[in-house]
Amino acid sequence: MTEPPLQVASRGLRARERVVVNVDSRVARWTGALALLVAGSWLVSLLARSHHHANWHADGRLAWSLTVLAAVALIARGIFLGRPVTAAHAILAGLAVLAGLSAHIIALDVPGNILIAASGLVLMWPTTARAQPGELSRVWALVNATSGDPVAPFAMQYLKSHHFTADGAAAIAYRTRLGYAVVSGDPIGDETRFADVVADFVAMCHTRGWRIVVLGCSRRRLGLWSEPEAIGQSLHPVPIGRDVVIDVPAFAMVGRQFRNLRQAVKRTHNAGITTELLNEQELDGRQRTELADVLLLSAKGAHAERGFSMILDGTLTGRYPGVLLMIGRDPAGRVQGFHRYVVAGGGSDVTLDVPWRRRGAPNGLDERLSVDMIETMKDAGAQRLSLAFAAFPEIFKDKERGLLSSFFYEVIHLGDALIALESLYRYLRKFHALADQRYVLLSFSQLFPVLLVLLSLEFMPRRRRLPAATGWE
């Protein structure tokens, strides 16, 4: 027995969150299909009976019929996607209809038709999930319980939403945009509950009419999303790069393959560079100010934050637990650069967030900071240290590129102003630690809107906010 299409939500919710009509039912879908059929039949009947008359459309019946059909089609599409109608949706759609009718009264027929047709789009516009910064302590507890996943710490990002199992043992981090729920990496927490949290998440997305995309899924978790019957759509894995994971206890810069790395580190020793490790939450005002100076004067456009899946926001704010800073100073004591790392798995795993360096910093500084962090974490008992993520390494590694590889190579370089992927790859390859493949899981039938959503999540800038102690807000 199906649920009735009308459900009144509880009081206390905001208008944009209070669902007044839930269309996730067979009755609602049949109603939408019938309305679309009636509107389409009316248009066909109108064309068949009147098209042979001169100026047959002068009375506006054709335009009005097309307007109604467009509105009904947009509503039917939303119904078939399972999108609920909130109070805000209903109010705005009603205002659009009133504005359209008002435009007709003053003989603005074209704008009026557009407004009335758009009311169907407004009524079924996808809902969005709110960020949940208040859940940080719960998310951190799960991150701290997750080992072997370099991406797990990024689940804490301020703008992400989280879906937990009923007992809070596992969770999924995600964001919504344009009707898509984009999952960030793998689930975190108790891996025996990952299948449960995925099933719960899929059911929740279904009730809200969200289609699912998974960005940064590891090879070992592909099976969680591989059943179209359970997920409600076919998600196809597309490789996007590899984790770069150092085996900390076994790390040693010996042999010919590490020659370039040894040379880079030696240059910084010759230049008098020294390093120190600090906890971000324990920085004093002077330390935050001098580090903020490096950040804001770097070559990365640091007044704005970007990124979604494999980055943590809030640098120097002390917002997140488990964040460590490896800092490099010149002989005069001036900070030349620093790396931001996040600890997970109770200290077993360490992941690089973002490296920052002053313009004109000595060559080899990033290598030095990474090596010193590895050695420091070795003494602390860490097992793995991730140096970010190598996107599309095969393209950069291949010197004899074919036509398709050359095309993608040129396309990738168009984004160098935002992220220089080839330069990052040349830095990472010095460590010879390419690990497991990561994937984006998506439906090929929705390729272009999915690409739009993913690119906007990763590259749309957000204003960076630093603590007042730094002197910049």
DSSP secondary structure of 208-273: HTPEEEEEEEEGGGGGGG--HHHHSS--EEEEEEEEEEEETTT----SGGGHHHHHHHHHHHHTT-
3-state secondary structure 18-54: CEEECCCCHHHHHHHHHHHHHHHHHHHHHHHHHCCCC
Minimum mean pLDDT range among 152-156, 372-376, 409-413: 409-413
Same-domain pairing of 416 and 446: yes
Q: How would you label 347-369 residue by residue, b for 16+ Cβ within 10 Å and e otherwise?
A: ebbbbbbbbbbbeebbebbbbbb
Q: Specify the number of domains making up the chain.
A: 2
pLDDT at position 7, please?
37
pLDDT at position 9, please?
38
Query: Does residue 2 belong to any structural domain of this protein?
Result: no
Instruction: Point out the domain boundary residue: 107, 123, 139.
Output: 123
Region 419-426 average pLDDT:
64
Q: Give the HSE-up count for residue 194: Cα atoms under 13 Å, Cβ half-sphere.
A: 16
Query: Does residue 9 belong to any structural domain of this protein?
Result: no
pLDDT at position 467, please?
75
Coil, helix or strand for 432?
A: coil
Query: Does residue 439 belong to any structural domain of this protein?
Result: yes
Same-domain pairing of 63 and 207: no
Greatest mean pLDDT range, 250-254, 308-312, 373-377, 456-460: 373-377
Same-domain pairing of 116 and 136: no
Same-domain pairing of 280 and 200: yes
Same-domain pairing of 108 and 149: no
CB 337 within 8 A of CB 358: yes
Instruction: Point out the domain boundary residue: 92, 123, 154.
Output: 123
Strand partners, 215: 184, 440
Q: Which tokens sit at 411? A: 């396309």
Minimum mean pLDDT range among 106-115, 282-291, 372-381: 106-115
Nearest to 344 by CA among 245, 471, 264, 271: 245
Query: Does residue 84 belong to any structural domain of this protein?
Result: yes
Same-domain pairing of 91 and 166: no
Query: Does residue 420 belong to any structural domain of this protein?
Result: yes
Same-domain pairing of 133 and 106: no
Same-domain pairing of 108 and 241: no
- H or E segment at 335? strand 335-344
Same-domain pairing of 390 and 463: yes
Region 22-32 average pLDDT:
63
Instruction: Point out the domain boundary residue: 65, 88, 123.
Output: 123
Q: Classify residue 207 by burial, with Cβ atoms within 10 Å: 0-12, 13-18, 19+.
A: middle
User: Is the per-residue pLDDT at 141 higher than 90?
Assistant: yes
What percent of the chain has a predicted confidence (pLDDT) above 70? 78
CA distance 136 to 159: 11
Region 91-103 average pLDDT:
90
CA distance 269 to 440: 41
CB 364 within 8 A of CB 264: yes
Same-domain pairing of 116 and 134: no
Predicted TM-score (pTM) of the model is 0.84
Region 369-379 average pLDDT:
96
pLDDT at position 108, please?
86
Instruction: Return the residue matching tokens 């208040």.
Output: 134
Task: Give me the CATH number covering residue 431.
Answer: 3.40.630.30
Torsion of CA 162, 166, 170, 171, to 10 degrees: -10
Residue 424's domain spans which residues? 128-473
In this structure, the strands spanning 236-247 and 170-177 are unpaired
Same-domain pairing of 196 and 242: yes
